Chain A
Amino acid sequence: MIRFILLQNRQGKTRLAKYYIPLEESEKHKVEYEVHRLVVNRDPKFTNFVEFRTHKVIYRRYAGLFFSLCVDITDNELAYLESIHLFVEILDHFFSNVCELDLVFNFHKVYLILDEFILAGELQETSKRAIIERMGELEKQE
């Protein structure tokens, strides 16, 4: 399962953090610091997988943002790597050519989208269309 998902920029600022395992505040900050350190220094020519404590982090960089998923050690790495990409494609579609600032000023929408994409640490929906349509439904109710 996905234990947590993090979006961090190069400086380590958290743009999105969702935890599917119970962690205290101080533990979360520690995790965010460690994961950032782990991924920010890796050569782009290296694998997108790196061991993290007794789990692994699947990550990819898009422009100035690092998308990291912490998953169980037995999980399928490439499947999760592409789920990151799917998420990015959804964000890109929703915000029409997304950039970091979109995610900053609309962080509340990003959480909404994420909740349509992942639930209980598992992929909920893999159709970009279904998620975008759902977001449309929700916007109407605001």
Chain B
Amino acid sequence: MALSGMRGLSVFISDVRNCQNKEQERLRVDKELGNIRTRFKNEKGLTPYEKKKYVWKMLYIHMLGYDVDFGHMEAVSLISAPKYPEKQVGYIVTSCLLNENHDFLRLAINTVRNDIVGRNETFQCLALTLVGNIGGREFAESLAPDVQKLLISSSCRPLVRKKAALCLVRLFRKNPDVMNVDSWSDRMAQLLDERDLGVVTSSMSLLVALVSNNHEEYWSCLPKCVKVLERLSRNQDVPQEYTYYGIPSPWLQVKAMRALQYFPTIEDPDTRRSLFEVLQRILMGTDVVKNVNKNNASHAVLFEALALVMHLDAEKEMMSQCVALLGKFIAVREPNIRYLGLENMTRMLMVTDVQDIIKRHQAQIITSLKDPDISIRRRALDLLYGMCDVSNAKDIVEELLQYLSTAEFVMREELSLKIAILAEKFAPDLSWYVDVILQLIDKAGDFVSDDIWFRVVQFVTNNEDLQPYAALKAREYLDKPAIHETMVKVSAYILGEIQPSSGQKAWM
């Protein structure tokens, strides 16, 4: 629990912790804020060490939940401090208290730029970190060229270059024009070839940002991504420090596979073959292990591989392997895997014609609809909705209606809408459809939008044959002791629409 220096800070923290209640805490904090305000006003008497201490205190007070607006200026001004200990505080506290919408930040641009282009590596790092974390459009315009220089400079350590790469990610997101594509296409390809995995990891994030915006210029990076995957998959030239529970940088593997998903196809047959070998190894070779972290990491890679296979919409065989895996996953006890199984199965529906295979798992998916965890119930609902067709609509809608009775409020509106849509789309006959909608209104009237009951009324109006049945059903609901306002409206409409001949029968 050692605190290097800054005894005043420790004492303050202890004081706050020893306060018996919120009132006392507020008093202590206000006292300190008052003290800091006074000391800041009289700048002459303030040593850099003291300034540093007060600015850290301000951050601590801010974390407690109090307002420290008056101190923004001080934090930003410390960025210009000549020595590291004070400069560091200025940079860090500024990035915690301010954001790109604060005008004050503009005041720092010149200092920040000086640090970036200057010779002091530590200052460069501080500056890159600030800009990467909270830089806005103006920073992008002023600083992008300088940051780019650092990224490709061979005299910079990997430490600086990886910060430059991520700093560029932010600047690019703020203003895509800062990356002049002509020169960057080749440079990105080179960066991905680097030995240092820290640099490759950061560069891969930059690549993802670039290709998610427009992949056209970065085709040369495609084979590089595959090479990175091969390197990791075969554990070639992967230092121990980048191995996580035996898995070569799972995060970089995931990022590389993510980058590949932004390219529509892989034309080159050799690259294709190499990639499929890697994917095959992942699909077939990911075992369930006892160690939670290793399991999560290997499955993080597996699920991203699944997404990539789906995207490539490739070999039928690989696709069926994926569905088989997912079928296994949705039935495991481990909730995270079950959740991801359901989520990915839903994605699979959209990509390719595997509906039939997925329908075999219907029973398991319905079980998930009743899972105690709302996260899982949500995914199960999405999947059931997506896999519904004429053959299973009755069963699925039935289950959804049942679930509706016990579903919590946050889900009822979505649930009602989905039930109504499925009922209309896949109704085997119209009377079933009317039944479902009336049941829907009965169970969750508050969440049934007007559109839904307007439609059922419309159907009844336009289908004379339907009217006797509809009238009968409406009458049944009206007989209940308590009915929803919407039910009254619907019943009134339906009964009002009846032609005299069929109407008499119904009223009997």
Contacts and interface: CB of A to CB of B under 8 A. Distances in A.
Interface of A: 13-20, 22-25, 29, 42-43, 45-51, 76-79, 81-83, 85-86, 101-102, 104-108, 111-112, 115, 119-130, 134, 138-139, 141-142
13 contacts: A47-B335, A48-B336, A76-B258, A78-B296, A82-B297, A115-B133, A119-B129, A120-B167, A121-B170, A126-B244, A128-B241, A142-B84, A142-B85
A101 B95 CA distance: 24
Nearest to B10: A105
A92 B304 CA distance: 29
B67 A25 contact: yes
A102 B4 CA distance: 12
B202 interface: yes
Interface residues of B, number: 72
Nearest to B338: A47
Interface in B359-373: 372-373
B340 A111 contact: no
A101 B17 CA distance: 11
B4 A139 contact: yes
B468 interface: no
Given A119-B129, A128-B241, A105 B201 contact: no
A40 to B, nearest CB: 15
Contact of B1 (A15, A81, A102): A102
A142 B88 CA distance: 9
A121 B65 CA distance: 23
A115 B85 CA distance: 16
Given A18-B96, A23-B99, A51-B378, A120 B169 contact: yes
Most chain A CB within a 10 A radius of its CB, from B85, B96, B244, B249: B244
B201 A123 contact: yes
Interface string B339-354: 1100000000000000
Contacts of A104: 13, 17
Nearest to B102: A22
A129 B240 CA distance: 10
Contacts of B17: 104
Given A46-B335, A77-B340, A107 B375 contact: no
A83 B336 contact: no
Given A22-B134, A78-B303, A125-B201, A138 B122 contact: yes
Given A76-B304, A134-B159, A142-B85, A83 B251 contact: yes
Given A23-B99, A120-B133, A78 B63 contact: no
Interface string B287-327: 00000010011011001100000000000000000000000
Contacts of A141: 84-85, 122
Contacts of B109: none
Contacts of B198: 124-127, 130
If over half of B's interface residues share one DSSP class (helix, strand or loop), that class is named, otherwise mixed; here it is helix
Contact of A106 (B3, B84, B162, B250): B3
A76 B300 contact: yes
B84 A119 contact: no
A51 B153 CA distance: 42
B166 interface: yes
Contact of A47 (B133, B258, B375): B375
Nearest to B130: A115
Given A22-B101, A81-B296, A81-B336, A111 B96 contact: yes
A126 B258 contact: no
A106 B335 CA distance: 35
Contact of A123 (B170, B205, B299): B205
Contact of A127 (B3, B84, B241, B250): B241
Contact of A120 (B5, B170, B250, B340): B170
B426 interface: no
Most chain B CB within a 10 A radius of its CB, from A14, A25, A50: A25
Contacts of B63: 14-17, 107
A50 to B, nearest CB: 6
Interface string B164-205: 001101100000000000000000000000000110011001
Contacts of A85: 293, 296
A13 B166 CA distance: 30
Most chain A CB within a 10 A radius of its CB, from B167, B198, B239, B249: B198
Interface in B1-23: 1, 3-5, 9-10, 13, 17
A1 to B, nearest CB: 8
B296 A124 contact: no
B378 A78 contact: no
Given A78-B340, A126-B242, A119 B167 contact: yes
Given A119-B129, A120-B167, A19 B376 contact: no
B132 A46 contact: no
B242 A78 contact: no
Given A14-B65, A111-B96, 10 more contacts: A15-B63, A18-B133, A22-B100, A24-B101, A42-B373, A50-B375, A120-B205, A123-B201, A126-B242, A130-B241
B281 to A, nearest CB: 18
A93 to B, nearest CB: 12
* Ranked 6 nearest A-B pairs via Cβ: A78-B300, A22-B99, A127-B241, A120-B170, A46-B373, A79-B300
Contact of A108 (B92, B100, B242): B92
Nearest to B126: A115
B163 interface: yes
Contacts of B132: 119-120
Contacts of B101: 22, 24
